[in-house]
Chains A and B, each alone.
Chain A
Amino acid sequence: DGVAILPAPQNLSVQSTNMKHLLTWSPVMVPGEIIYYFVEYQGEYESLYMSHVWIPSSWCSPTKGPECDITDDITATVPYNLRVRATQGSETSAWSTLKPPFNRNSTILTPPGMDVTKDGFHLVIKLEDLGSQFEFLVAYWRREPGAKEHVKVVRSRGIPVHLETMEPGAAYCVKVQTFVKAIGRHSPFSQAECVKVQGETLPL
């Protein structure tokens, strides 16, 4: 290893939303020089059984920017140690390690985007594609006093899903939340969206 003259990156942190994890740090500034960064990780297995083993990040060994998308590296719901060092030519900084370790079960889950439409008398919903780890719990009801709320689990992504055949003149409302199997958590529900069918009678 080169002599550690170059300062180590500081202020490591992870922003994680909807199972997308971004590691960021303060850039190392050397006027007129290009700095590269190397990111490495170890899961709980490595830190328990072989703590000397660190695995290069899929996308950031090396990288130029002071951030790294580590989503593809975090593949189990265990604490992950993450470390970054800077290099400039042959000079290499010391490693900076994220404290505390990152666990994907801390990700922020937001209500998903949805598009509620009418296809004739059919109530149809199209959900945001958040990736294979997400399921959707869709709740829908007819907007009238005492109406029963129906629930449908949707695993398909980004394609229209039929919910209900609507009565003419009735209004129907929909809200949705996500569920992430790998961490066993739900997002909050979205705002309800309502649509109304015009008063025509149903075709025979």
Chain B
Amino acid sequence: QEFQFGPCRVEGVVLQELWEAFWAMKDIVQAKDNITNVRLLRKEVLQNVSNAESCYLIRALLKFYLNTVFKNYQDKAADFRVRKSFSTLANNFVVIVSKLQPSQENEMFSVSDSARRRFLLFQRAFKQLDIEAAQTKAFGEVDILLTWMEKFYQL
């Protein structure tokens, strides 16, 4: 059981554990999202991503989640169960990012650039919202992210 994002292979993360961690927080997190007519991880970001692109894209997305979306979340998460589940999710994202080593070679430029443009679509949409609202919405969309990641998970 491992992730295979194109050339990038990630072992040591059990997808089911990520789902269980998110499900434990889902209602609390998504209930705080009042902006219902906006979706950050929309089709243009995640649809028809080639295998080659996937390693670049998932790395950019997970780093953004770790650095920006999850920032200060532990301080706001009063509920102990949520803090524990959040820690599981965040630490497993750290594992995945640490194992993603996308190729930096020139011939991969067009692929990485395509992945970068997809990520920028997401980031721009994120920046158009107030930071707290954007963090809450992006956090609530982790199920969209995990559903997309599932395509690259091999049992």
Contacts and interface: CB of A to CB of B under 8 A. Distances in A.
Interface of A: 42-46, 48-50, 53, 55-56, 58, 73, 75-78, 105, 133, 181-184
Residue among A50, A55, A75, A181 with most chain B CB within 10 A = A75
B11 to A, nearest CB: 5
A55 B91 CA distance: 13
Interface string B34-64: 0000000000000000000000000000000
Contact of A55 (B72, B75, B84, B95): B84
B21 interface: yes
A73 B12 CA distance: 17
A151 B91 CA distance: 34
Contact of A50 (B21, B75, B93): B75
Given A49-B66, A49-B71, A182-B14, A44 B84 contact: no
A76 B11 contact: no
B80 A77 contact: no
B88 interface: yes
Contacts of B93: 45
B88 A184 contact: no
Given A182-B13, A182-B14, A78 B74 contact: no
A181 B91 contact: no
A76 B95 contact: yes
Contact of A45 (B1, B11, B80, B91): B91
Contact of B94 (A48, A73, A105, A133): A48
A44 B74 CA distance: 14
Contacts of B113: none
Nearest to A61: B80
Contacts of A45: 66, 70, 87, 90-91, 93-94
Interface of B: 1, 11-14, 17, 21, 66-67, 70-72, 74-75, 80, 83-84, 87-88, 90-95
A91 to B, nearest CB: 24
Nearest to A184: B11
Contacts of B88: 75-76
Contact of A46 (B1, B80, B87): B87
A70 to B, nearest CB: 12
B12 A183 contact: yes
B91 A53 contact: no
Given A49-B70, A133-B14, A184-B12, A73 B84 contact: yes
B98 to A, nearest CB: 8
Given A76-B92, A78-B95, A182-B14, A50 B74 contact: yes
A122 B93 CA distance: 45
Contacts of B94: 43-45, 48, 76, 78
A119 B93 CA distance: 47
B14 A181 contact: yes
A77 B12 contact: yes
B90 A43 contact: yes
Instruction: Please name the 10 residue pairs, one residue from A and one from B, whose CB atoms are nearest each other, closest first.
Output: A76-B91, A43-B91, A45-B90, A75-B88, A53-B74, A77-B12, A76-B92, A45-B91, A184-B11, A181-B1
B64 to A, nearest CB: 13
Contacts of A78: 91, 94-95
A182 B91 CA distance: 13
A157 to B, nearest CB: 15
